[in-house]
Amino acid sequence: MQIEVVSARFLHGNNDYYFSPNGLELKKGDYVIVDTEKGKDIVRIVKDKEEVDASSLQDSLKNVIKIATSEEVDLAFENDKKASQLLPEIKLLISKNNLEMKVVSVEGNYNGSKITVNFTAENRVDFRDLVKQLAEKYKVRVELRQIGARDASRILGGLGPCGKTCCCHQGLGINDHVSIKMAKNQGLSLNPNSISGLCGKLLCCLGYENPYYIEVLKEMPKINSIVKTPDGEGKVVFCDLIKKKVNVKFQSENSSEIKDYELKDLKFTKQQ
């Protein structure tokens, strides 16, 4: 069965979530109030209405309650800004409680009734007393959420090995499973320093680029295979998967030579 949905993103989110438009006329860029498992919150529509198969939904579909007013949007950003400014105070309180945890960010919900403290820790942390102290101090509901190194990088951002802003901070690759096989598909060095991001985990870009490399590898000859070129038969020594070019080595009794060819100029049995 096909059902109508809209895709939306929370203020600090990079993931897209489906919501039922609930009969409302919505468009990309609208801020709306939605139902969530933890109460009402504000999200931004990032994709217009579409129909999806109900069986593809992993969780029950929540409703868009209404389109947010400009006052509600301004209030949401103001409350979130106020929450982020609590970071130094919360860090100090954590230090006083001698808790082994590192606060990454503090977020506020749209109506100022709750703050969420995102933190990393090497081990499990008993923060029950801290939650009570924070709730008493700020007179709001408090949620402490332990996150991993990848999520911490997503929130904080920074420059990756390529010199650009971290992919996860841009919303790229965060939902992709990443494996060593993906690095092999790209012909990259398997040195951990070369294929790891700021979080110490495998680079996100390996995941979202992988479909391209899988398709290109099907078109390219295998390394060390014999191909027919305009200059005769030779052995493949390197494949440029981006430019779709192949380096072919010609060996004679007295010398060897490597020539560069366009993929279209070669004849060989394609990989299955």
13 domain-assigned: yes
Q: Quick check: 87 pLDDT over 80?
A: yes
133 Cβ contact partners less than 8 Å away, ≥ 6 residues apart: 93, 97
Q: Quick check: 31 pLDDT over 80?
A: yes
Domain boundary among 119, 147, 175: 147
Assess whether 135 and 84 both reside in one domain. yes
102 domain-assigned: yes
Write 185-191 long-range contacts (CB < 8 A, 24+).
185/210, 185/213, 185/214, 185/217, 186/213, 186/241, 187/239, 187/241
Assess whether 90 and 137 both reside in one domain. yes
73 domain-assigned: no
36 domain-assigned: yes
In sequence order, what DSSP letters do the residues of 186-250 get, joined into one string? Answer: TT----HHHHB-TTSSBPHHHHHHHHHHHHHHHHSPPTT-EEEETTEEEEEEEEETTTTEEEEEE
Which tens digits make up the pLDDT trace of 168-210?
888 776 666 889 999 999 988 899 888 988 888 888 888 888 9
Beginning with the edge strand found earlier in the chain, give each strand of the sheet holding 102-108 in spatial order: 102-108, 114-120, 141-146
| Res 173: pLDDT | 65
271 domain-assigned: no
272 domain-assigned: no
Assess whether 87 and 104 both reside in one domain. yes
| Res 176: pLDDT | 66
Assess whether 105 and 165 both reside in one domain. no
Q: Which residues pair with 44 in a beta bridge?
A: 9, 31
Assess whether 63 and 86 both reside in one domain. no
| Res 37: pLDDT | 81
**How distant, in Å, are the alpha carbons of 132, 136, 145 from that of 127?**
9, 14, 10
Q: Quick check: 56 pLDDT over 80?
A: no
Distance CA 111, CA 98 (A): 31
Assess whether 205 and 192 both reside in one domain. yes
What's the domain count of the chain?
Answer: 4
| Res 142: pLDDT | 94
Mean of the pLDDT values across residues 31-58? 85
| Secondary structure class of 13 (helix, strand, coil) | coil
Model-level pTM?
A: 0.72
Which tens digits make up the pLDDT trace of 207-251?
888 999 999 999 999 999 999 999 999 999 999 999 999 999 998
Q: Report residue 138: phi and psi, to 5°.
A: -105, -5
Burial of 62 (0-12, 13-18, 19+ CB in 10 A): middle
Q: Where residue 117 falls among pLDDT bands split at 50, 70, 90?
A: very high
Structural domain boundaries, residue 57 = 2-68
Assess whether 240 and 258 both reside in one domain. yes
Q: Quick check: 272 pLDDT over 60?
A: no
Which tens digits make up the pLDDT trace of 88-112?
999 999 999 999 999 999 999 888 8
Distance CA 236, CA 245 (A): 11
270 domain-assigned: no
First to last CA, the chain: 35
CB 75 within 8 A of CB 113: no
